[in-house]
C-alpha cells in the first residue's frame, strides 16, 4: 500500500514565507477544510495516511514535501533554505526513521528543499533556486549517483521551487506554464499548459493524476490525453506559493 505523509496546516498559515507573490489574506479555517479534502482524495484511492506531529509554531509546516524527499528505499532529510523552516525537520525525520526507511541528511552549508526536486524515471531534476544551493545539489548527487540516479541541476528564477513551474505526468512528459519556466529545453518531452496552477500534478497511479481545481483547462487537456483527473481546491495554499505536490510526501510500494 502507498503511504501519504502529511501535516495539518498551522493556524498561522497566513504568516508563511513568500518570495514571488504579494501577501494576501489566507483563511486558516478554509485551509484546514481544503487540506482535509486533499487528504481524502488519496484516502479514497487506497493510500494509507501517515500524519506527522502538528507544528503550529511553523506557518509553512504543512508543506511537508520540502523537508523529506523519498528515492525508492532512501529518504533524504533536507535542509531548507529558509531559516524559519528548519524547525520542521525533527518531527518529520522521526516519523520517517520509525518507518524503517534508510535516511540521509543534507548538511550545512548545503540547502535543499523538496519542492525543487522532480523525479522522472531515474533522472532527478533539481532546481537551483533561492532555497536550494549548489552545495545541496552536490550532496544530493553524491547520495544518489551510486544508487543509479542521474541528477540534473536546473536554474530557477521565475518561481519559488522547480515544481512550482513544472511536474511530470505518468508517462514522463514534463508539463508547465511556459512563461514561468526558465528553460523548457532541459526536458526531453515538454507540454505547455494554459494555467500556472496546472503546472503541479501529483501522480496517483499510471492512469490518474491530482491537480488544483484552479486549472480546469489543464484538467481537460489531461483528460484528453486519457488520464483520470482528480481536481481539489487548494486556494489558501496557493496564496502562500504552495501547490498539490508540496502538501504531502508520497511513499510508494
Active site residues: 161, 246
Cis, bond preceding 108 (omega within 30 deg of 0): no
Residue 143 marked in a binding site: no
Is 178 annotated to bind a ligand? Reply is no
Q: Within 13 A of 66's CA, how many CA atoms are on the CB side?
A: 31
Distances (CA, A) of 161 to 72, 92, 167: 22, 20, 11
Query: How far is residue 249's CA from residue 7's CA, in Å, rounded to a whole number?
Result: 10
Report the C-alpha gap between 81 and 130 in whole angstroms: 7
Pull the grid cell for residue 39.
Answer: 487528504
Residue owning grid cell 535543499: 112
118 marked as binding residue: no
d(CA 249, CA 212): 17
Indicate the helix (H) or strand (E) that contains 141: helix 134-144
Distance CA 175, CA 25 (A): 29
Read off φ and ψ for residue 56, nearest 5 degrees: -65, -20
The reply, when asked if residue 150 is annotated as ligand binding, is no
Tell whether 3 is in a known binding site.
Answer: no
Binding-site residues for substrate, please? 18, 60, 65-66, 85, 131, 240
Amino acid at each position: 500500500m502507498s503511504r501519504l505523509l502529511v501535516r495539518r496546516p498551522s493556524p498561522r498559515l497566513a504568516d508563511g514565507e513568500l518570495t514571488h507573490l504579494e501577501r494576501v489574506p489566507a483563511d486558516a479555517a478554509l485551509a484546514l477544510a481544503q487540506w482535509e479534502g486533499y487528504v481524502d482524495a488519496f484516502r479514497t484511492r487506497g493510500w494509507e495516511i501517515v500524519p506527522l506531529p502538528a507544528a503550529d509554531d511553523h506557518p509553512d509546516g504543512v508543506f511537508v514535501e520540502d523537508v523529506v524527499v523519498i528515492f525508492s528505499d532512501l529518504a533524504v532529510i533536507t535542509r531548507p533554505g529558509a531559516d524559519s523552516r528548519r524547525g520542521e525537520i525533527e518531527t518529520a525525520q522521526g516519523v520517517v526513521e520509525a518507518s524503517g526507511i534508510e535516511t540521509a541528511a543534507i548538511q550545512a552549508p548545503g540547502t535543499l528543499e523538496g519542492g525543487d526536486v522532480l523525479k522522472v524515471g531515474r533522472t532527478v531534476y533539481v532546481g537551483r533556486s533561492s532555497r536550494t544551493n549548489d552545495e545541496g545539489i552536490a550532496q544530493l548527487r553524491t547520495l544518489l549517483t551510486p544508487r543509479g540516479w542521474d541528477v540534473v541541476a536546473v536554474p530557477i528564477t521565475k518561481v519559488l521551487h522547480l515544481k512550482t513551474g513544472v511536474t511530470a505526468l505518468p508517462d514522463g512528459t514534463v508539463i508547465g506554464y511556459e512563461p514561468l519556466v526558465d528553460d523548457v529545453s532541459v526536458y526531453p518531452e515538454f507540454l505547455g499548459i494554459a494555467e500556472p496552477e496546472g503546472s503541479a500534478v501529483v501522480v496517483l497511479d499510471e492512469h490518474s493524476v491530482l491537480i488544483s481545481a484552479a486549472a480546469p483547462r489543464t484538467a481537460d487537456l489531461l483528460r484528453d490525453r486519457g488520464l483520470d483527473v482528480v481536481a481539489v481546491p487548494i486556494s489558501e495554499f496557493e496564496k502562500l506559493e504552495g501547490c498539490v505536490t508540496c502538501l504531502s510526501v508520497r511513499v510508494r510500494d
